[in-house]
Amino acid sequence: MATKMKKQYADFLEFVKTKHAGQPEFYQAVEEVVTTLIPCLEKNPIYLKEKILERIVEPDRVYIFRVPWQDDKGEYHVQRGYRVEFNNAIGPYKGGLRFHHTVNLSVLKFLGFEQIFKNSLTTLPMGGGKGGSDFDPRGKSDAEVMRFCQSFMNELHRWIGADIDVPAGDIGVGGREIGYMFGQFKKLTRSFEGVLTGKGLNWGGSLIRPEATGYGVVYFAEEMLKTKGTDFKGKTVAVSGFGNVAWGAVAKVNHLGGKVVTISGPDGFIYDKDGIKDKKWEYMLELRKSGKDIVEPYARKFKAEFHKGKRPWCVKADVCLPCATQNELGLADAKDIVKNKAMVVCEGANMPCTPEAIETIMAGKVLYAPGKASNAGGVACSGLEMSQNSMRLGWKAEEVDTRLHDIMKNIHKACLETAKKYGEPGNYMMGANIAGFEKVAKAMIDQGLV
Ligand code: NDP
Ligand code: 2IT
C-alpha cells in the first residue's frame, strides 16, 4: 500500500513538474509540501477523493500586466507586474508584493503557494496570494519609485479590495512603496479601506507591523530552544540579510539576552564578535536606506570583519536565522552548521534552505523550522492590522505584541502536536505542512467544487 501511495505521489509530482515546466522554485515548494503530506493523505482518503492536491497547486487566477514608468531623466521603461491569487478557501487572498529584478512567475507562485499554508497556521481568516514586479527600487529616487508604484496600482486596483485581496510588503516593498500604492488606490477607487497592510501609523497602519516578522521568528526560535530546556540568554546567533526581517530579528534576540554576530548582503557577510546592538543595530536601517545592496560599510564603520562573497553559516553559532532570500543556505552551509553543533535553524526568509540542506540539518539532529511556520508573524500582524481597520480602531503596541507572541507560540504548538500525531515527533516541517493544509482542505471540501 505504502509503495503504491508513493508511486501515486511520484506521478503527481511529475505531473506538476511537466504542467508548470520552467518554474523550479514553484516545483521545489510543491515537492516539499506534498512529500510531507503523505501520512495525512493516507489517513484521510477524502482529500484524495476530492482531488485537493490537484486543486490546491493550481492558482485560482494569475494577473500579469505591463507597468510603464518614466525615470528622472525622462527615459521610458517597461516592467512586468503580477498578482497570483492562489487560494481563498479560508479568507481573502493575502500576501506581500516583491519588487526585485529576480521576480518572475515561478518565484511568485512558490511564494503564493507557501502563503496558503502559512496564513492558515496563523489561525486568522486569510487566503494565500503574492505579487510583485521585476522593478528594483534600490538606487531609484523617491520620485521614480512613486511613479512606478502609481503605474503598478493603475492595473492592480481592479483586482484587490479589503474583502477580496489584501497585498502587503516583501523584499523591496516597505512603508514608502505601500504609501504610494495606497495613495493611488484611494485616488482611483474613491475609497479609503484596508486594502493594503504595512500602512503608515497615521493612516490605518498597525504598531509592531515593521518589527513583526523578525520578532515572530525569534519568538518561534525561543519555543524551539525551550524544548531543549534552554533560552536565548548567552546564545550566539547568526543572522543573514540586513533588511526588514533581519532588523526585527536582531532587535528581539538582543531583548532576550542573545548576541547576534553576523548580518549579510549580496556582497558578503559581517562578523562582529561584540554583537550587533544599539548604534550598530540602528545602523542597519541606514545601510538599507542607502539604496545599495551592500553590508561592507558596516565593517569599516565599526571595525568588524567583512568576508567578501561568503555566507555567515561557517560561523560557530547556537542559533541560525536565515532572513535574506530563497535558497541562500545550501548543502555545504548545512554541513558547517551540523559540524558546529548549532541547536536551531529557524527560517526568517521564505524557503531559504535548499532541500538538501534541510535533510542534512535534520539528519544532524539540529532543530529545523520552515519559514511558513516561523516567519508567519509578519502576515499574522497584517491580519491584526486588517482586524483593526475593520473595527476602525487601533490597538496599543503591547496588545499587538502580546497577540503576535501568542500566535507564534500556538503555531509552534500546532507544528509539534501535528508532527507527533502523524508519527514524526519533532519534525516541524511535516507538522507545519499538515496543520496548514488540513484547515484549507476541509474548507475546500465544505465549499464544494469551485
Ligand atoms: P527587504 O529587506 O527588502 O525589506 C523590505 C522592505 O522593508 C524595504 O523596502 C524597506 O522599506 C523595509 N525595511 C527594510 N529594512 C527595514 C527596517 N530595518 N525597518 C523597517 N523597515 C525596513 O526584505 P525583507 O526583509 O522584507 O525580506 C527578507 C525575506 O523575508 C524574504 O524571503 C521575504 O520573502 C521574507 N519575509 C518577509 C516578510 C515581511 O513581512 N517583510 C514576512 C515573511 C517573510 P522602507 O523603505 O520602509 O525602509
Ligand atoms: O512572506 C510573507 O509572509 C510576507 N511578505 C508578509 C505578507 C503580508 O501580507 O503581510
Residue 131, ligand 2, Cβ within 6 A: no
Q: What is the mean pLDDT of the chain?
A: 97
The pLDDT value recorded for residue 437 is 98
- Distances in whole angstroms, Cα of residue 226 to Cα of each of 372, 404, 409, 410, 415: 20, 18, 11, 14, 15
Pocket of ligand 1 (CB under 6 A): 169-176, 210, 213, 241, 243-245, 247, 284-285, 288, 323-325, 348-350, 375, 378
Q: Which tens digit of pLDDT belongs to each residue from 171-220?
A: 999 999 999 999 999 999 999 999 999 999 999 999 999 999 999 999 99
Q: What percent of the chain has pLDDT over 70?
A: 99
Expressed in angstroms and rounded, the spacing between residue 423 Cα and the centre of ligand 2 is 31
Residues annotated as catalytic (active site), given as ranges: 130
- The average pLDDT across 74-99 equals 98
Q: Where are the domains of the chain?
A: 61-194, 210-365
Tell me which residue has its CA closest to atom 23 in ligand 1: 171
Tell me which residue has its CA closest to atom 3 in ligand 2: 379
- The average pLDDT across 352-366 equals 98
Q: Is the pLDDT of residue 133 over 50?
A: yes
pLDDT band at 1 (very low <50, low <70, confident <90, very high): very low
**For residues 230-242, b (16+ Cβ closer than 10 Å) or e, as one string?**
eebeebbbbbbbb
Q: Is the pLDDT of residue 149 over 80?
A: yes
The pLDDT value recorded for residue 2 is 43
Four-point Cα dihedral 371, 377, 379, 385, nearest 10: 180
pLDDT band at 6 (very low <50, low <70, confident <90, very high): confident
- Alpha-helix residue ranges (DSSP H) falling in 122-194: 142-156, 175-189
Angle between helices 355-363 and 24-43 (to 10 degrees): 50
- Alpha-helix residue ranges (DSSP H) falling in 270-396: 279-289, 296-302, 331-339, 355-363, 371-374, 377-391
Assigned architecture for domain 210-365: 3-Layer(aba) Sandwich (3.40)
Q: What is the pTM of this model?
A: 0.96
Q: Do domains 61-194 and 210-365 have the same CATH topology?
A: yes
Domain 61-194 has CATH 3.40.50.10860: yes
Residue 379, ligand 2, Cβ within 6 A: yes
132: β partners: 82, 98
The pLDDT value recorded for residue 3 is 47
Which strands sit side by side in the sheet containing 93-99, from one edge to the other?
61-70, 76-87, 127-133, 93-99, 165-168
